[in-house]
Every structure is written in C-alpha cells, then in structure tokens.
Amino acid sequence: MRVLVVTAVPVERDAVTRAFGGGTGGSGSGTEVSGGDTEVLSLLPGAELHRTGAFDVLAGGVGPAAAAAATAFALAAAAAESTDPSPYGLVVSAGIGGGFAPAAPLGSLVVASAVVAADLGAETPEGFAPVTALGFGRDRFTPPPALVREVASATGAAAGPVLTVATVTGTAERAAALRAAHPGALAEAMEGFGVAEAAERAGVPVLELRAVSNAVGPRDRAAWRIGDALAALTEAFGKTAPVLEGWHRHDH
C-alpha cells in the first residue's frame, strides 16, 4: 500500500522522510542515503514530492486551502500515472501544531480521532455556528478508528480531536472558546481538514498526526519547542511506518 503524507512546510516534510532513512536531493533526482533511497520529483510549481519506499511526502503549503489543493493534485496525478484507479491506500496530514494543555504538552504526539474544521461556519448573535448547523456542508472527518488506536499504541500518542483553523489561536480567550466548542480537543493545526476533504473526494482514508511545538493560547515564541517537535515527528513516523505498511484500508 502506498501512503501519501502531506505536511505544510519543507522542514516538516524532511522530518518525516528522515524517519525512513530518506535524504534530500535536487529536483528530479534520486539520492542514495543510509537506510533507503529518496527520489525527489517535481509535482507542483515550488513543490516537490519526496518518494521513499512506500511513502510519498509532500510539503503542500500552509492553511486548509493550500493543503486541499496540493493533496487533490497529488492524488489526481498519481491516479493518472497508474493503472490502479486508487494508487494510494491512505493519506496522512502530518506536522507540528499547538497542543491544549495539560492534555497535550510540548513535545508530545497527537493522533486525530476526528479532524475538525473549527472555524468553518458563521458568527451569530448566539455565538459561532458550525457549517453543519447552517444546514449544509460538513465540519469533521473521522479517520479509521482501528488505525488511530494502532498508531497511538505504537507511538505513545494521545488520541483525540484535532482542530483545523485558518487563523492560529493567539489569546487565552480564543483558546477557551475552542475548548468550550470542542470538548476533548487535543491540538490545533492549519491543514488537516483540507487534506481530509481532498482525500474523502478521492475515496481514500485519512489520518492526522501532530507533534506539539507550542501551547494553544497566547503566543509566546520563547516557549516554543519547534526543534523538539520536529524530532518527535521523526521518531513518531519511524514507529508508525510498520503500522501503516501492515494496515489495509478496509480494516476497521
């Protein structure tokens, strides 16, 4: 089974490929590295697909729109080049993100039991109304529960809802509002729902895995642990890879 992994930025992509022994090279070239070969393919203007074993890793851009567009393009390109109408068995949204303390402390891992569009909807006199309350659309996707459990067990990640936001939380008030609207949410990031939307339309299951680099709330850059989170992401994919390689999309 081939797996498409979509991150936001190249440093996240490279953190994932390091888990497979992958290195980076020039566009369109394969690079011999310890533990595996990484082939770097041009996919979109300014974007490269890093292929290592069964995993294709793409830095698709920041935010749900960029993530959805890049994921959809990668899925369509793979289908056009393959005799298999669905060459990918799974799409993974991966990267670093904010964690809701104390459930998801800095450096910890979160695997999404639900991928939730936290700010897709409308403001009303009674407060925020999700798009589903307006009578159209959807505001969440559910990754395969058995796969979520297996990945959580393999990596030590906490399993719970991960929120997708177009604007990163920067105040205690906004963090509290998100907690109230989404009880049990463990983390927030900016791409998961976009990746899930594209995967769903292609009929491919989705998973979201995040390493926590900062706390959701007031922005305190001095307290961020981006390096630690990227290292945790690499370690997580090293432990996740055997699970994904042994999983079949019809397992529940």
The candidate with the shortest Cα–Cα distance to 187, out of 214, 206, 166, 222, is 214
- Give the separation between CA 152 and CA 236, rounded to whole angstroms: 10
pLDDT at position 48 is 84
On whether the pTM is more than 0.95, the answer is no
Q: What is the pLDDT along the chain (252 residues), one digit of tens a residue?
A: 899 999 999 999 999 999 988 654 433 333 323 345 778 877 666 678 899 889 999 999 999 999 999 999 999 988 888 777 678 999 999 999 999 999 999 999 999 999 999 999 998 898 888 899 888 889 999 999 999 999 999 999 999 999 999 999 999 999 999 999 999 999 999 999 999 999 999 999 999 999 999 999 998 888 999 999 999 999 999 999 999 988 876 555
The candidate with the shortest Cα–Cα distance to 6, out of 156, 186, 137, 193, is 193
pLDDT at position 23 is 53
pLDDT at position 167 is 93
Topology adopted by domain 2-246: Rossmann fold (3.40.50)
Domain ranges of the chain: 2-246
